[in-house]
C-alpha cells in the first residue's frame, strides 16, 4: 500500500465513496481543486450545448445558405471572446449542427453567451472552420442569453430570435431572421450510486506484535515469558491473541491493468471479523456495473506500510449477486513461489451485507424539473449607518451613479438569482428604522406599502431602497429575528401549498446583531424550511460574533430550548473581505447555496419532476 495514508489520524478515516454527499451530487474533488486554482469557485457542472436553427435567411443566389454557428463569451467588463465554432451545414435553412460545445456552468456567475450564425461562402467550403475569416462570411443573425436562462427552462431548451446587431439596438421592428434553439445537457455517464456494506470473516492474523494489543508493558511481559518458557511457546500463544486493524481499499482496473483507488473504508481496530460502514460507489467513477474492481483488505500500520491481508476481484454485478446469494467470497493472497506468484486461497471471506442502488439527482435536475429560487432582501436602516445625506454614510447615494455597499450587494446577488425566479417579484423589507409618524419597526415593507412587500425586479428593489432612505428615520437596535420569521412564514406557506420553490433571503447589515439568541431561535426553526439566508456585513464593524450564525466549522446552531438546527442555512460574508477583487461578493455568498438546496431536498426525499 506504500505510504498512501501515513498519518495515523487521517489514515484511519474513510476516503472517497463514503456517505453520499448532499453537495453537488457526483463532484470530483480533483476537478474541484483544478477549477478553483483557475478562479472557479462554488458549484459547477459540465454542460454540453447542442444547437439547431429554423427559418434562416437565404443569402445564396442559386442554392440555400451554408450556415455555421460561432459562440462567444461576454465577460463582466464587456470583453468578448470566441470559444467555439460548429461545422458548416451545406445548403440548409433549418440546420441541426452535430458539433457540441462543453462549458463549465457556474451557479454564482452570470455567464453571458453570444451566438452568431454565418453563411459560409462556397469558395471556403474546403477550409477548416477554425481557419475561416469571419469578416469574409455573411451574417445570418445573432442572439444572446445567460447560461442560467437555458438550464432553468423546461427540458433545458431555449429558443432565441435571431437579429442583426443593429436591429437589436434599434427601436424599429427588426427583420425576421429565424430562430436559434439551444439545448443543454448535464455531462454525466451515470447518476446511479451503489450503497454497499462489506464484512469480512476469519481474517488471518500476521503480526507477532500488533500495535493494537502490544503496549510496551505487554511486550516486556512477553520478553520475560520467552526467557522463562521458551520461544516456541510464545510464538504459538501470540498467534491466538494478535488482532488486526483492518480496512478495505476499492480500486478500479483500467485497460492497461493498472488499479486506480476509488475509495477506502475506515479502519476498525482489533477485529478479525469487521463490518465497515457503508461505501457509496458512483457508476460514473467505476465505469459500469460490469467493470472489474479489486477489493483489498489491509492491516493498518501507523508508519504507512500497511500489510495486505488478502483481496478479491469482482464487479458491482458480482457484489450484488453475493448479497442476494448470502455467500461469502474467499480472499486470496498473491504468494511468491520460486520466481513466480500464485494466488493462495485463504479461509478469510468477504461478505456483502447490503447492496442497493439510488439515483442522486443534481441541482440542475431540480431546476429542469421546475424548481425555482425565490429572492428576498432585508436592509439595515439603523442609525449606525450614518446620515444618508452625507458622503461618509454607508447609505449615501452618490450622484455620479457609483453604488454604495448596500446597492452593490443587492445588484450582484440579485443579478444572479433573478434568472431562477419566474415572476421576478421580490419581497423587500427594511429593519431598524422609524417610518414617518410611527414607532421603530424591525420589519417594514421597503416599498412603503402596508400590505404588499413585493417589488418588480432588481430595479424595483433599488428604487424602493432609495425611496425608503428619504421616508424613514434611521434608528435601532439591530434585530434579525423579525425579518427571518417573516421570510420563514412565506417559505412555510409555500411548503404547505406544495409549491416547487426554495427561498433565499439576503440580509445586509452594518452591525452585529443585538438579538443573538432570538436570531438563533429563528434560524433553528427555519432550518426545517426551504430557505437559505445570506448575510453581508458592510462597514468596519467587528463581525466575529456574526460568524457564529454561519455553521461552516461544523457546529450546528442551538435554540434556547436546546433544539439543534437540522442543517446549516446561513452564509455570512463581511463585504470588506471580498473587496480585494480575488473573488466577488456574489461568489462568496452563493458558493454554498446549491449544497444547502440539495441537503434540504435529499433529506426530505424530494425528487425533481421528470
The verdict on 384 and 298 lying in the same domain is no
Q: How far is CA 543 from CA 36, 322, 431, 514, in A?
A: 26, 56, 18, 12
Q: Is residue 157 within 8 Å of 182, Cβ to Cβ? A: yes
State which residues form the domain around 161.
45-166+174-189
CATH of the domain at 58: 2.60.40.150
- State residue 27's pLDDT score: 36
Task: Tell me the average pLDDT across 1-27.
Answer: 50
The verdict on 500 and 408 lying in the same domain is yes
- State residue 18's pLDDT score: 55
The verdict on 196 and 281 lying in the same domain is yes
Q: Would you place residue 171 in the very low, low, confident or very high pLDDT band (cuts 50, 70, 90)?
A: very low
Select from 303, 324, 359 the last residue of a domain.
Answer: 359
Q: Which residue has the cell 498467534?
A: 239
Name the nearest CA neighbour of 441 among 479, 410, 471: 479
Q: Are strands 293-299 and 307-314 parallel, antiparallel or unpaired?
A: antiparallel
Q: Would you place residue 16 in the very low, low, confident or very high pLDDT band (cuts 50, 70, 90)?
A: low
Half-sphere exposure (Cβ direction) of 517: Cα atoms closer than 13 Å: 4
Q: Is residue 556 within 8 Å of 563, Cβ to Cβ? A: no
Summarize pLDDT for 262-292 with one digit per residue, the tens: 888 999 999 999 999 999 888 877 878 899 9
Name the nearest CA neighbour of 62 among 122, 150, 106: 122
Question: Is pLDDT above 90 for 377?
Answer: yes
Q: What angle do CA 506, 596, 194 make, to 5 degrees?
A: 165
CA 147/CA 182 separation, integer angstroms: 10
Select from 306, 336, 359 the last residue of a domain.
Answer: 359
Q: CB within 8 A of 119, min separation 6: which ones? A: 59, 60, 65, 66, 67, 137, 138, 139, 140
Q: Point out the least confidently predicted range of 132-146, 185-199, 204-218, 537-551.
A: 204-218
Question: Is pLDDT above 50 for 238?
Answer: no
Which has more pLDDT, 218 or 93?
Answer: 93
End-to-end CA distance of the chain: 44
Summarize pLDDT for 446-494 with one digit per residue, the tens: 999 989 999 999 999 999 999 999 999 999 999 999 999 999 999 999 9
The verdict on 542 and 597 lying in the same domain is yes
- State residue 10's pLDDT score: 53
- State residue 44's pLDDT score: 72
CA 315/CA 293 separation, integer angstroms: 5
Q: Which residue has the cell 427588426?
A: 174
Q: Would you place residue 36 in the very low, low, confident or very high pLDDT band (cuts 50, 70, 90)?
A: very low
pLDDT over 90, % of the chain: 59
Summarize pLDDT for 413-442 with one digit per residue, the tens: 999 999 999 999 999 999 999 988 789 999
Which has more pLDDT, 165 or 382?
Answer: 382
- State residue 245's pLDDT score: 92
The verdict on 98 and 202 lying in the same domain is no
Name the nearest CA neighbour of 537 among 428, 381, 405: 405
Please count the structural domains in the chain. 3
The 3-state DSSP class for residue 451 equals coil
Question: Is pLDDT above 60 for 168?
Answer: no
The verdict on 82 and 179 lying in the same domain is yes
φ/ψ of residue 488, rounded to 5: -65, -35
Q: Which residue has the cell 445570418?
A: 140
- State residue 578's pLDDT score: 63
Task: Tell me the average pLDDT across 597-605.
Answer: 91
Which has more pLDDT, 129 or 339?
Answer: 129
Q: Number of helices (H) and strands (E), helices first, in the chain?
A: 15, 25
The verdict on 388 and 498 lying in the same domain is yes
Enter the pTM of the model: 0.72
Average pLDDT, the chain: 84
The verdict on 328 and 274 lying in the same domain is yes
Which has more pLDDT, 256 or 124?
Answer: 124
The verdict on 457 and 504 lying in the same domain is yes
Question: Is pLDDT above 80 for 231?
Answer: no
Question: Is pLDDT above 70 for 379?
Answer: yes
Question: Is pLDDT above 50 for 383?
Answer: yes
The 3-state DSSP class for residue 317 equals helix
Q: Is residue 246 within 8 Å of 271, Cβ to Cβ? A: yes
Task: Tell me the average pLDDT across 499-509.
Answer: 96
- State residue 437's pLDDT score: 77
Question: Is pLDDT above 60 for 509?
Answer: yes
Question: Is pLDDT above 90 for 353?
Answer: yes
- State residue 189's pLDDT score: 61
Q: Say if residue 136 is preceded by a cis peptide, omega within 30 of 0.
A: no
Name the nearest CA neighbour of 141 among 48, 54, 49: 54
CATH of the domain at 584: 3.40.50.410
Q: Is residue 27 part of a domain?
A: no
Which has more pLDDT, 21 or 14?
Answer: 14
Q: Is residue 5 part of a domain?
A: no
Which has more pLDDT, 190 or 544?
Answer: 544
Q: CB within 8 A of 257, min separation 6: which ones? A: none
The verdict on 267 and 395 lying in the same domain is no
Question: Is pLDDT above 60 for 197?
Answer: yes
Q: How far is CA 158 from CA 28, 94, 126, 147, 184, in A?
A: 29, 16, 32, 10, 9
Amino acid at each position: 500500500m506504500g505510504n498512501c495514508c501515513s498519518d495515523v489520524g487521517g489514515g484511519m478515516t474513510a476516503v472517497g465513496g463514503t456517505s453520499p454527499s448532499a453537495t453537488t451530487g457526483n463532484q470530483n474533488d480533483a476537478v474541484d481543486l483544478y477549477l478553483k486554482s483557475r478562479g472557479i469557485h462554488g458549484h459547477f457542472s459540465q454542460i454540453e450545448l447542442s444547437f439547431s436553427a429554423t427559418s434562416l435567411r437565404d443569402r445564396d443566389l442559386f442554392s440555400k445558405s451554408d450556415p455555421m454557428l460561432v459562440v462567444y463569451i461576454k465577460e463582466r467588463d464587456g470583453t468578448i471572446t470566441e470559444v467555439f465554432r460548429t461545422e458548416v451545414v451545406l445548403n440548409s435553412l433549418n440546420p441541426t449542427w452535430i458539433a457540441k460545445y462543453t462549458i463549465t456552468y457556474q451557479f454564482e456567475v452570470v455567464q453571458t453567451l453570444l451566438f452568431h450564425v454565418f453563411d459560409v461562402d462556397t469558395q471556403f467550403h474546403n477550409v477548416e472552420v477554425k481557419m475561416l475569416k469571419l469578416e469574409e462570411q455573411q451574417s445570418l443573425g445573432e442572439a444572446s442569453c445567460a447560461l442560467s436562462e437555458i438550464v432553468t427552462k423546461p427540458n433545458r431548451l431555449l429558443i432565441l430570435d435571431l437579429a442583426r446587431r443593429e436591429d437589436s439596438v434599434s427601436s424599429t421592428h427588426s427583420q425576421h431572421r429565424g430562430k436559434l434553439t439551444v439545448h443543454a445537457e448535464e455531462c454525466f455517464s451515470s447518476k446511479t450510486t451503489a450503497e454497499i456494506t462489506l464484512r469480512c470473516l476469519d481474517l488471518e492474523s500476521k503480526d507477532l506484535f500488533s500495535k493494537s494489543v502490544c503496549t510496551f508493558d505487554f511486550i516486556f511481559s512477553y520478553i520475560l515469558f520467552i526467557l522463562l518458557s521458551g520461544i516456541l511457546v510464545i510464538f504459538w500463544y501470540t498467534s491466538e491473541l494478535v488482532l488486526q486493524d483492518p480496512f478495505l481499499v476499492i480500486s478500479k482496473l483500467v485497460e492497461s491493468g493498472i488499479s486506480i483507488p476509488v475509495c477506502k473504508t475506515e479502519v476498525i481496530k482489533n477485529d478479525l471479523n469487521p463490518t465497515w460502514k457503508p461505501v457509496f460507489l458512483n457508476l460514473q467513477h467505476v465505469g459500469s456495473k460490469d467493470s472489474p474492481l479489486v477489493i483489498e483488505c489491509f492491516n493498518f500500520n501507523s508508519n504507512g506500510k500497511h500489510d495486505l491481508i488478502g483481496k478479491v476481484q469482482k464487479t458491482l454485478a458480482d457484489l450484488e449477486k453475493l448479497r442476494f446469494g448470502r455467500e461469502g467470497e474467499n480472499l486470496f493472497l498473491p504468494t511468491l513461489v520460486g520466481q513466480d506468484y500464485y494466488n493462495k486461497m485463504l479461509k478469510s471471506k468477504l461478505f456483502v451485507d447490503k447492496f442497493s442502488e439510488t439515483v442522486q439527482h443534481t441541482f440542475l435536475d431540480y431546476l429542469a424539473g421546475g424548481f425555482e429560487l425565490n429572492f428576498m432582501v432585508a436592509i439595515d436602516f439603523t442609525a449606525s449607518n450614518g446620515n444618508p445625506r452625507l458622503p461618509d454614510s454607508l447609505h449615501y447615494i452618490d450622484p455620479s451613479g457609483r453604488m454604495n455597499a448596500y446597492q452593490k450587494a443587492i445588484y450582484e446577488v440579485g443579478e444572479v438569482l433573478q434568472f431562477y425566479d419566474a415572476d421576478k417579484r421580490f419581497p423587500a423589507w427594511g429593519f431598524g428604522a422609524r417610518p414617518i409618524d410611527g414607532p421603530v419597526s424591525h420589519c417594514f415593507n421597503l416599498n412603503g406599502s402596508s400590505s404588499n412587500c413585493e417589488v418588480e425586479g432588481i430595479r424595483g428593489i433599488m428604487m424602493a431602497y432609495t425611496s425608503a432612505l428619504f421616508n424613514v428615520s434611521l434608528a435601532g437596535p439591530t434585530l434579525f429575528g423579525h425579518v427571518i420569521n417573516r421570510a420563514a412564514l412565506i417559505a412555510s406557506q409555500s411548503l404547505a401549498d406544495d409549491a416547487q420553490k426554495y427561498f433565499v433571503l439576503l440580509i445586509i447589515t452594518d452591525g452585529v446583531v443585538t438579538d443573538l439568541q432570538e436570531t438563533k431561535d429563528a434560524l433553528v426553526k427555519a432550518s426545517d424550511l426551504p430557505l437559505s439566508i445570506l448575510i453581508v456585513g458592510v462597514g468596519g464593524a467587528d463581525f466575529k460574533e456574526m460568524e457564529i450564525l454561519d455553521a461552516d466549522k461544523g457546529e450546528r446552531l442551538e435554540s434556547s430550548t436546546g433544539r439543534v438546527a437540522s442543517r446549516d442555512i446561513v452564509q455570512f460574508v463581511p463585504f470588506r473581505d471580498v473587496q480585494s477583487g480575488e473573488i466577488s461578493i456574489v461568489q462568496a455568498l452563493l458558493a454554498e447555496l446549491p449544497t444547502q438546496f440539495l441537503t434540504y431536498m435529499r433529506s426530505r426525499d424530494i425528487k425533481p419532476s421528470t
